[in-house]
Amino acid sequence: MPVATTARFETRLFIANEFVDAADGSTFPTVNPATGELLAQVAEAKAADVDRAVAAARAAFEGGDWRTMSARDRGRLLYRLADLIEREIDEIARIETLDNGKPIFESRQIDLPEAISILRYYAGWADKWQGEVIPVAGPFLNYTLREPTGVVAAIVPWNFPIVIAMWKIAPALACGNTVILKPAEETPLSTLRLAALAREAGFPPGVWNVVPGYGEVTGAALVRHPGVDKIAFTGSTETGRIIMREAAATLKNVQLELGGKSPNIIFADADPEAAVRGAAVGIFYGKGEVCSAGSRLLVQRSIHDVFLEKLVERAKKTVPGDPLDPKTRLGALVSERQMQRVLGYVDTGKREGATLLCGGARVGERGYYVSATVFDRVQPDMTIAQEEIFGPVLATLTFEDEEEAIAIANRTMYGLAAGIWTRDVKKAHRVARAIQAGTVWINTFNRYDPASPFGGTKQSGFGRDLGMHALNEYTQVKSVWVDLS
Ligand code: NAD
């Protein structure tokens, strides 16, 4: 398939409904990971550009059409944007795949439909997130107002550029905030395209801004800026720590969705076919560049050999291919750096004594492809059982019984998600309670829905995206007292 021409990409900053160059004319490259070729030079926002974006977002928040717009009309804008994305779904999915390397099947059939349904979900909430009247003592009327938090900086990673941006932007706008989006430097193109659609949908200037650039420059400028009220961040735990520290100076509201090392626990009484599929999809979907990837496979000893045999058979059939081919299920890793990082972990796994059952190598010399990789005989304290690899690399551990499965599952600093495979209903719910994670999937994995909250515990972060829970994250409660005596 021919690569789309750069003319189809929007590459400038989006501030106050205008596409503009960076003040000092800086740009940075974004590459197609399937080929290693340059896709586009994108404007790089520096401190001066961040100042402009914050000024635009503040002006829109504090006065003008957005401030006075009814909640219902805000919802209508979100609905309209969802329709516009649907109109251009093929093109935007293609941009996402070109920039990220994920299979077009995932961009077109999963990510974009999900982004659209997130927008519609929060469009519906816009006029339903209401305050309450509280029965206080004495001759008083006491009620609460739910007010928007203010200017929200959404700083997002490269693995689901549009979906995770929507996790933040849709509830933020539904609640009346204004937003400055900082896409990841690896994948700025799809959300710039969305900005053009947001303008077409009718969002007033300054409500929706996009400032591509590097984390330590553009992201850091947003985190330090006194005109930003909230940082809604998804990314690595390491960056989350920096953001929390830096945001302390201006006491910003910070929400952190961070990394994971999620256990996928296979009990001997699981439906074998479903569990093998769940284990494979849990790690190979999204190239394993998924925060909730089931990257630690915990298999009960009595079924270990049979299970691993079937899993490896399946992994060997999961061959990386051209992301633009609709049949491809394993794409290219996002960057050369990420590929090297993943291959480095493969070496560490071998060095520390784990057994490599399949994969573990780069595929081809052009583009950043890594084969579906399964390690066995991994011990709970090995590096590949503790650190987030963020690639198609599975670490298999073995357990005897329920108690040991729970102990191993919880033996990590992360607490993002977990999978449990069993036909025993009581055991499933017992283990779900015992696992330290923000999400537990029973006999399924990687399920998401706009209505269901998602977020971490422990060092996977705090706060919740999605669901009605996210509405709390983007509003503050004001208590109003009236003397009736
Ligand atoms: P990252 O932390 O390197 O970058 C994420 C974003 O933060 C990027 O936009 C980056 O430019 C920016 N950034 C980097 N340094 C910054 C700084 N000092 N100040 C402000 N912003 C800065 O993460 P990544 O490599 O892009 O993404 C992978 C990570 O994201 C993984 O750890 C993964 O688990 C995590 N993730 C978590 C979730 C979740 O919901 N918990 C979802 C997806 C990805």
What would the pLDDT profile of 379-426 be if each residue is shown by its tens digit?
999 999 999 999 999 999 999 999 999 999 999 999 999 999 999 999
pLDDT in tens, 359-385: 999 999 999 999 999 999 999 999 999
One-character DSSP codes across 147-214: EE--EEEEE--SSSHHHHHHHHHHHHHHTT-EEEEE--TT--HHHHHHHHHHHHHTPPTTSEEE----
* Cα 48 from Cα 24, distance rounded (Å): 9
Total length of the chain: 485
473/368 same-domain check: no
Q: Which amino acid is at 265?
A: I
From residue 475, alpha-carbon distances to 125, 148, 177, 270, 394 in Å are 13, 4, 8, 42, 39
- Statement: residue 99 has pLDDT above 70: yes
Active-site residue list: 257, 291
What's the 236 CA to ligand 1 centre distance in angstroms?
A: 4
259 lines ligand 1 (CB under 6 A): yes
Domain that holds residue 408: 263-449
Q: Which ligand 1 atom sits closest to the C-alpha of 223?
A: 20
134/237 same-domain check: yes
Determine, yes or no, domain membership for 4: no
27-32 and 208-210 beta bridge pairing: unpaired
222/274 same-domain check: no
Average pLDDT over residues 442-451: 98
What's the 173 CA to ligand 1 centre distance in angstroms?
A: 22
**Are 251 and 281 contacting, i.e. CB atoms less than 8 angstroms apart?**
no
pLDDT of residue 2: 41
Percentage with pLDDT > 70 across the chain: 99
DSSP structural state of residue 235? S
Among protein residues, the one with the nearest Cα to ligand 1's atom 39 is: 257
What's the 319 CA to ligand 1 centre distance in angstroms?
A: 27
Determine, yes or no, domain membership for 64: yes
What's the 61 CA to ligand 1 centre distance in angstroms?
A: 26
* Cα 104 from Cα 97, distance rounded (Å): 6
Choose among 178, 180, 182, 181: nearest CA to 148.
178
360/239 same-domain check: no
Alpha-helical segments (H) within 334-422: 336-351, 383-386, 402-410
* Cα 92 from Cα 97, distance rounded (Å): 9
349/244 same-domain check: no
398/328 same-domain check: yes
175/317 same-domain check: no
Determine, yes or no, domain membership for 313: yes
Among protein residues, the one with the nearest Cα to ligand 1's atom 20 is: 219
Determine, yes or no, domain membership for 455: no
**Secondary-structure percent of the chain, ordered helix, strand, coil, rounded to 5:** 40, 20, 35
What tokens does 101 get? 């390397």
pLDDT of residue 64: 87
* Cα 119 from Cα 169, distance rounded (Å): 9
What tokens does 308 get? 């691993």
Choose among 212, 137, 214: nearest CA to 181.
212
275/178 same-domain check: no
What tokens does 480 get? 């109003």
Among protein residues, the one with the nearest Cα to ligand 1's atom 34 is: 259
CATH number at residue 428: 3.40.309.10
Determine, yes or no, domain membership for 122: yes
Average pLDDT over residues 185-193: 98
**Are 51 and 92 contacting, i.e. CB atoms less than 8 angstroms apart?**
no
243/137 same-domain check: yes
The count of other CB atoms within 10 Å of the CB of residue 343 is 18
CATH number at residue 140: 3.40.605.10
pLDDT of residue 5: 44
Q: Which amino acid is at 318?
A: T
pLDDT of residue 1: 38
Determine, yes or no, domain membership for 7: no
pLDDT in tens, 2-46: 444 444 799 999 999 999 999 999 999 999 999 999 999 999 999
Q: Is 136 helix (H, G, I), strand (E, B) or coil?
A: coil
432/469 same-domain check: no
Choose among 466, 472, 462, 421: nearest CA to 438.
462
Phi-psi region of 452 (alpha: psi -120 to 50; beta: other; left: phi over 0): beta
94/162 same-domain check: yes
100 lines ligand 1 (CB under 6 A): no
* Cα 44 from Cα 161, distance rounded (Å): 17
456 lines ligand 1 (CB under 6 A): yes
Number of domains in the chain: 2
195/335 same-domain check: no
223 lines ligand 1 (CB under 6 A): yes
* Cα 43 from Cα 371, distance rounded (Å): 34
239 lines ligand 1 (CB under 6 A): yes
Average pLDDT over the chain, rounded to an integer: 97
96 lines ligand 1 (CB under 6 A): no
DSSP structural state of residue 368? -
Determine, yes or no, domain membership for 417: yes
pLDDT of residue 78: 98
What's the 233 CA to ligand 1 centre distance in angstroms?
A: 7
* Cα 436 from Cα 123, distance rounded (Å): 32
Choose among 275, 273, 276, 295: nearest CA to 286.
295
Q: Which ligand 1 atom sits closest to the C-alpha of 222?
A: 20
Average pLDDT over residues 237-262: 98
Segment (H or E) for 442: strand 439-442
Non-local (6+) Cβ contacts of 243 within 8 A are 155, 219, 223, 231, 233, 254, 256
Tell me the β-bridge partners of 482: 141
Percentage with pLDDT > 90 across the chain: 98
* Cα 87 from Cα 136, distance rounded (Å): 51
266 lines ligand 1 (CB under 6 A): no
pLDDT in tens, 50-68: 999 999 999 999 998 999 9
Segment (H or E) for 79: helix 71-87
Determine, yes or no, domain membership for 71: yes
Mutate to test the pocket of ligand 1, among 222, 291, 413 (most ligand atoms within 8 A of CB): 291
pLDDT in tens, 288-346: 999 999 999 999 999 999 999 999 999 999 999 999 999 999 999 999 999 999 999 99
185 lines ligand 1 (CB under 6 A): yes
What tokens does 193 get? 């395209």
